[in-house]
Amino acid sequence: MPDPTPLILGVESSCDETCAAVIRGRKLLSSEIISSATEQAKYGGVVPEIASRAHTDAVSRVVARALESAHISPQNLDAVAVTYGAGLLGALLVGLSFAKGFCYSLNIPLIGVSHIRGHIAAAYLDCETLKPPYITLLASGGHTALLLSESYSSFRVLGETVDDAAGEAFDKCARVLSLPYPGGPNIEKLALGGTPCIPFPSALTREGGVRFSYSGLKTAVINYCRNSEQNGVKINRADVAASFQKAALDPLIEKAVELALEYGVDTVCAGGGVAANGYLREKLQYMCAKSGLKAVLPQKKYCTDNAAMIAAEGYLQYLQGNFSPLSLNAAAQVPLK
Ligand code: KG4
Ligand code: ZN
């Protein structure tokens, strides 16, 4: 029988944020981030080599900070959970190698965590009573899907995007509107001053079933902006942002609620960077309440990349005795399932 409240260090370095967190069972003790986003913004996106170098510089500091703010010494740790994929290979290898060194020197188990499972597990951080089954609206820069979590370790994919991820579409539309990186939060800010009056195509495909497409929506936004420019018509950028945001997010929210009712579950969770979006959060909460469902939204800082979610997923794996060998390698792609 494993210790029900192990002390786990979480480490995450899949993109441009170096993160560490400490969790005791389901209780989060600390979560720290050192970001290279400001440096990356100069280049309009994440430059992999800059990310790897920044992780190398930051990883020992961010881990020390997380242990210090949790008032934990490394010797008290029971395991280290670390993102092994998906993400930028060079970036992942920094966190993974660091975690391996920690485990080796302390003689404690390593738990390799899929980044995407981390985003799903973030819902446990702010809701002590959450238990499966529930629906998860997952929307990040790499994935967009609606899932049915049937147990603490298994889920079914009920619907997903057939092309781009929602976050990717936010980032591309931000570029078209000349907004700086990162695109998502800047589109959200701009949309606050606009009305969703432009009829962009919905992200829900017309083929039936729960299938989303973001590439058509992205193209429609690009065409709208280019055609207006060619015809000498000044676009209202805030209206474009608000209309895009609505077309991108409404179908995800509506389908999440519909699926919860169809599968007879009473809770809808959200995860991934796009779940930090204020419009999505408000509308999901409103729609859930209207249907008698509970919406569980992790705090915004636990929707975007962080190590608390990796530690939370690590805890679930620990309970199952799912440990990884020290030969675990990084993976640029990890299948959703
Ligand atoms: O989960 P995440 O931080 O990293 C990945 O695992 O991909 O998600 C990043 C994505 C980016 O595409 C970013 O533009 C989007 O999440 N994002 C947002 C918001 N904050 C981050 N999209 C819409 N509104 C936001 N407030
Ligand atoms: Zn992420």
Measuring CA to CA, how many Å separate 187 from each of 260, 279, 334? 29, 11, 28
User: Which regions of the chain does DSSP assign to beta strands (E)?
Assistant: 7-12, 17-24, 27-35, 79-85, 110-114, 134-139, 144-149, 155-161, 211-212, 267-271, 294-296
Domain residue extents for the chain: 7-121+306-319, 132-300
Which tens digit of pLDDT belongs to each residue from 61-76?
Answer: 999 999 999 999 999 9
Reported pTM: 0.96
**Rg over CA atoms, the chain:** 20
Which tens digit of pLDDT belongs to each residue from 278-318?
Answer: 999 999 999 999 999 999 999 999 999 999 999 999 999 99
3-class DSSP state of 80: strand
Task: Tell me the CATH number for domain 7-121+306-319.
Answer: 3.30.420.40
User: Does ligand 1 lie within 6 Å of residue 171's CB atom?
Assistant: yes
Residue among 16, 170, 305 whose CB has most ligand 1 atoms within 8 A, to mutate: 170
3-class DSSP state of 164: coil
The two domains 7-121+306-319 and 132-300 share their CATH topology (first three levels equal)? yes
User: Which fold does the domain 132-300 belong to in CATH?
Assistant: Nucleotidyltransferase; domain 5 (3.30.420)
Q: What is the mean pLDDT of residues 34-43?
A: 87
pLDDT score, position 40: 85
What's the gap in Å between 306 CA and the centre of ligand 2? 8
Question: Kind of pairing, strands 79-85 and 7-12?
Answer: parallel
Atom of ligand 1 nearest to the CA of 245: 23
Which tens digit of pLDDT belongs to each residue from 226-265?
Answer: 999 999 999 999 999 999 999 999 999 999 999 999 999 9
Atom of ligand 1 nearest to the CA of 272: 1
Distance CA 10, CA 21 (A): 5
In three state form, how does the secondary structure of 273-323 look? HHHHCHHHHHHHHHHHHHCCCEEECCCHHHHCCCCHHHHHHHHHHHHHCCC
Whether residue 3 is predicted with pLDDT greater than 80 in this model: the reply is: no
On whether the CB atoms of residues 305 and 273 are closer than 8 A, the answer is yes
Atom of ligand 1 nearest to the CA of 174: 14
Burial of 47 (0-12, 13-18, 19+ CB in 10 A): middle
